[in-house]
Structure 1
């Protein structure tokens, strides 16, 4: 049963939504911060948090699990070897969302999603 299991659909089909989330994750891990709309930032945040937590273990299984999302071996190694090491003693809250206001063209709420620097 799917009771109380709400998914932020982002007005997209499931395949399109998954591709969007995976691409936003890739960009965030590559650059450290991304500027996107607020609903997209809120939708991708739990996936990023879980990926970093998974990468903390550093096992082969964790790398393979991350590869299913990122589809890039170098990026998976970066998440496990570099990014998750920064947050080894932090129990969660690896990202922050900063609201920017509205975009000029369509008045969409914009935000910056960034990895927290300790």
Structure 2
């Protein structure tokens, strides 16, 4: 059920407001588009969308609930038989409110509320399904990634490895520097060994 609106009612009493919204909904379903004040359009939207959701169900109970709000049987029949099948692929968002210029007499903010009768784009539906699948996969793999959460220490472990080649290069240079010195030291020792053999 929609959240009750805050502030003053549209009419003088709750019954007046309920009947006013029922008349606006009847006009909306009859003409598919109406121009009214912005506040009335915003109050009408949840009422109209709830009626469309009931019409999409299509059973006798839903029809009687819609008839409790809308008094014209011809509009209810049109809603159930012609309008509701157009919303079969759409999950909510059945109406669109567009602001228009203020009313000339009292400068009241006006809006057009209309039914969104365009078919749902299959591309958008596919993209939404793919996004939902990605979110589900991310949630499913989240417990698996928990041990991987220690990526910061792993990154620190990689940093010394990056420094290791530089350190290896320094050690190699030191070994190479020591090698000629060792060769130089070994050369006299080798000569002494040859002299002893001789």
- 1:1-118 to structure 2, matched below 5 A, reads 5-7=4-6, 9-10=9-10, 12-118=12-118
Q: Distance in 2 between matches of 1:31 and 1:104?
A: 23
Q: Distance in 2 between matches of 1:11 and 1:72?
A: 22
C-alpha RMSD over aligned residues: 1.5
Gaps of 5+ in 1: none
What TM-score comes out, normalization by structure 1 length?
A: 0.91
- Please give the per-residue CA displacement for 1:40-92, whole angstroms capped at 9, x wherever unaligned: 00001000001001110110111100000111222111111111100001000
Counterpart contact for 2:87–2:117, Cα < 8 Å: no
Counterpart contact for 2:45–2:95, Cα < 8 Å: yes
Gaps of 5+ in 2: 119-198
Q: Distance in 1 between matches of 2:99 and 2:57?
A: 32
Q: How far off is 1:11 after superposition?
A: 5.0
The alignment of Structure 1 onto Structure 2 pairs a total of residues equal to 115
Q: Distance in 2 between matches of 1:15 and 1:88?
A: 32
Residue in structure 1 matched with residue 190 of structure 2 by the alignment: none
Q: 2:101 aligns to what SS in structure 1?
A: strand
- Structure with greater strand percent: 1
Q: 1:36 aligns to what SS in structure 2?
A: strand
- Please give the per-residue CA displacement for 1:83-115, whole angstroms capped at 9, x wherever unaligned: 110000100001000100211110100000000
| Higher RCO (C-alpha 8 Å, min separation 6) | 1
Q: 1:6 to 1:31 in 2, by over 3 A?
A: closer
